[in-house]
Amino acid sequence: MKEIASGYSPNKFTIKKGVPVKWVIDAQAPYSCASSLVVSSLKIQKTLKAGENVIEFTPKETGKIPFSCSMGMYTGAFTVVDDSSAGQAGNSSVDAANITTTQGVASAAAGTCGSGGSGSTGGGCGGCGGGGKPVVPAEGKVEIAPVSDTAKVDEQVIKTSYTLNDDMQPNTFTVKVGQPVKFAVDVKENGQGCMSTVALPGLSDDVFQLIAGKKIEMVFTPSKKGVYQITCAMGVPRGTITVE
CATH domain 2-106 topology: Immunoglobulin-like (2.60.40)
List beta partners, residue 26: 2, 52
Give backbone dihedrals phi and psi of 172, rounded to 5 degrees, phi first.
-135, 125
- Sign of torsion, CA 28 189 142 181? negative
Angle ∠(70,71,72) on CA atoms, nearest 5:
90
Q: How far apart are CA 15 and CA 216, in angstroms?
A: 46
List beta partners, residue 208: 198
CATH domain 142-243 topology: Immunoglobulin-like (2.60.40)
pLDDT per residue as tens, the chain (244 positions)? 999 988 999 999 999 999 999 999 999 987 677 887 889 889 887 878 889 999 999 999 999 999 988 777 889 999 999 976 544 444 333 333 445 555 555 444 334 454 433 333 334 444 454 444 566 777 776 777 766 555 567 899 999 999 999 999 999 999 999 999 999 999 999 988 768 889 999 999 888 888 899 999 999 999 999 999 998 877 788 999 999 9
DSSP letter (8 states) at residue 137: P
Q: Do domains 2-106 and 142-243 have the same CATH topology?
A: yes
Asked if the bond preceding 10 is cis, omega within 30° of 0, the reply is: yes
Please report, for the chain, the start and end positions of each structural domain, with discontinuous segments joined by +.
2-106, 142-243
Give backbone dihedrals phi and psi of 173, rounded to 5 degrees, phi first.
-140, 155
Q: How far apart are CA 180 and CA 227, in angstroms?
A: 16
Question: Which pTM value belongs to this model?
Answer: 0.52
